[in-house]
Amino acid sequence: MHVILVATQKGGAGKSTIAAHFAALAAQDGKTLLIDADPQASLTDWYTSREAETPLLAQADANSIAQVLDAAADEDVRWVIIDSAPHNAPLMASLMSRASITVIPVRPGPFDLKAAAKTLDMARALKAPMACIINAAPPPTRESEPTVVAEARVVLSSMGAPVLPGQVSQRAAFSHALITGQSVTEYDPEGRAAGEILAMWSAVAKLAESFPRKS
Ligand SMILES: Nc1ncnc2c1ncn2[C@@H]1O[C@H](COP(=O)(O)OP(=O)(O)OP(=O)(O)O)[C@@H](O)[C@H]1O
Ligand SMILES: [Mg+2]
């Protein structure tokens, strides 16, 4: 079982958007549990309007997370994707120490980069494997990635943070898909948003598989 935590102490960076999409894509590969560990319950709302029966969904907090993960392992779940809350550092630390890898979505802007540093520090202190994902970036041109994205990579690298190649661009398809309980790969499979999130999920899955399984 691979446990992927999507976390950052910055609100609105795209944790729930990315967690929903990773879970929908992971479910094509094997039994997948999406854990909503945010009391805002954004993903539970998404799930309620979802027609597809996969992934599975559970809610968890600091008291129940161990039990939820143990039950998932007993039920031969292959992928666990956890969405977390921005303002609960103790819960985030506890989730990080249980995750195979923590994925940190970062918008390519100065305040967002600064805010990511706190989460990177937490991961480092816990010796938790992590990688940043550039989210909600201006779409790339045919020739190159946007300057703000290149700059964000430089800043994150200077903070010692691995940054996954590629980006998830700011695209309306994400809102359209999520509001109808879908992922962009279901809503518009041939679209650019689908291509980008699929490439990002493939990179994350490969990385997770290179770390020891959690059970
Ligand atoms: N790549 C994207 N393209 C377009 N809109 C996006 C993208 N990523 C996130 N959003 C939008 O930005 C807003 C915040 O995203 P989301 O709720 O996923 O962030 P979050 O980190 O989970 O927020 P919170 O900290 O409040 O839990 C949402 O309206 C979402 O639809
Ligand atoms: Mg959220």
Rounded Cα–Cα distance for residues 69 and 98 (Å): 9
Give 163's contacts (C-beta < 8 A, 6+ positions apart): 131, 132, 133, 134, 152, 153, 156, 157
- Ligand 1, atom 7, lies closest to the CA of 136
Q: What are phi and psi of 168, to 5 degrees?
A: -110, 115
Ligand 1 center to residue 109 CA distance, Å?
15
* Contact in structure between 169 and 196 (CB atoms under 8 Å): yes
**Confidence tier at 141 by pLDDT (50, 70, 90):** confident
- The CATH T-level fold of domain 2-209 is Rossmann fold (3.40.50)
Tens digits of residue pLDDT in 52-103: 999 999 999 999 999 999 999 999 999 999 999 999 999 999 999 999 999 9
Ligand 1 center to residue 135 CA distance, Å?
9
Taking the CA atoms of the chain, what radius of gyration do you get in angstroms?
16
Which residue bears the tokens 């937490």? 122
Tell me the pTM: 0.97
Tens digits of residue pLDDT in 38-66: 999 999 999 999 999 999 999 999 999 99
Nearest atom in ligand 1 to 11's CA? 25
**Confidence tier at 214 by pLDDT (50, 70, 90):** low
Rounded Cα–Cα distance for residues 212 and 17 (Å): 26
Nearest of 155, 159, 165 to residue 133 by alpha carbon: 165
User: What pLDDT shows up at residue 64?
Assistant: 96
* Contact in structure between 10 and 110 (CB atoms under 8 Å): no
